[in-house]
């Protein structure tokens, strides 16, 4: 371990890491010396992301998985453990959104959003927490959103998932802090990614994926006696 690679020897898993925020987080953790496992549903994008990270010098493991499926998550964590051992860092980033008035959403739309954004975090954390408890250390970082604090037209299902994620994060933190495991939430505002349309907004003024990665880096390098439970990120100028 050195100042330039403070995570040397540590194992991280970033979900939804084939692009956007997840890929930026994986990139940053790799530069900090961690071995990084990434997952996503789209195998083509996942392979491309893994190749980019390898070229940058990151020791990488890419596993196609749907975090809303318990069997996929169990197989994912088992493969990481088999390759590198127990996890030190879990970043629950996988998410999806569909923005429309709630009464216009179908039941399948609701299920997709809640299963990915909320159930997926439950399934991944449930798999990883026992090994962190056993070792009495670890970070679980849930990528939420300012939409988990603020209502918006057309955001009923998405906001519900992120509001729920913040509540779950706080409860998980209380469940695990006595074991030396810190559970945190990062809540960015609008980030310039492919995730959702940003009509009328200046992309140069929006948050960038690297800004979220910076917040994650700050959390995983905090001093042992401190606990950054939540980070809210906003652009310096309104886009």
**Band (182; pLDDT cuts 50, 70, 90):** very high
CB 67 within 8 A of CB 118: no
Considering 84, 158, 168, 186, which one is annotated as catalytic? 158
CATH, domain range 11-233: 3.40.50.720
List, for residues 38-62, the tens digit of each pLDDT value.
999 999 999 999 999 999 999 999 9
Q: What pLDDT band is residue 1 in, cutting at 50, 70 and 90?
A: low
Q: Is residue 179 flagged as an active site residue?
A: no
Residue 48 has a CB neighbour count (10 Å cut-off) of 15
Q: Which residues pair with 183 in a beta bridge?
A: 140
Question: pTM of the full predicted structure?
Answer: 0.95
Tens of pLDDT, residues 64-107: 999 999 999 999 999 999 999 999 999 999 999 999 999 999 99
């Amino acid at each position: 371990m050195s100042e330039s690679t403070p995570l040397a020897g540590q194992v991280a898993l970033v979900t939804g890491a084939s692009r956007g925020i997840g890929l930026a987080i994986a990139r940053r953790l790799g530069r900090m010396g961690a071995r990084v496992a990434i997952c996503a549903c789209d195998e083509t994008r996942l392979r491309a992301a893994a190749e980019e990270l390898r070229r940058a010098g990151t020791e990488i493991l890419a596993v196609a998985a749907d975090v809303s499926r318990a069997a996929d998550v169990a197989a994912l964590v088992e493969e990481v453990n088999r390759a590198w051992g127990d996890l030190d860092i879990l970043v629950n980033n996988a998410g999806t959104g569909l923005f429309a008035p709630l009464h216009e959403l179908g039941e399948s739309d609701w299920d997709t959003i809640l299963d990915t954004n909320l159930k997926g975090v439950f399934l991944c954390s449930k798999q990883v927490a026992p090994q962190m408890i056993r070792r009495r250390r670890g970070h679980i970082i849930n990528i939420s959103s300012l939409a988990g604090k603020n209502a918006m037209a057309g955001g009923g299902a998405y906001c519900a998932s992120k509001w729920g994620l913040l509540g779950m994060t706080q409860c998980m933190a209380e469940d695990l802090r006595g074991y030396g495991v810190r559970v945190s939430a990062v809540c960015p505002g609008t980030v310039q990614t492919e995730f959702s349309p940003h009509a009328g907004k200046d992309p140069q003024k929006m948050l960038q994926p690297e800004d979220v990665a910076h917040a994650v880096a700050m959390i995983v390098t905090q001093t042992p006696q401190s606990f950054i439970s939540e980070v809210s990120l906003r652009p310096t100028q309104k886009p």
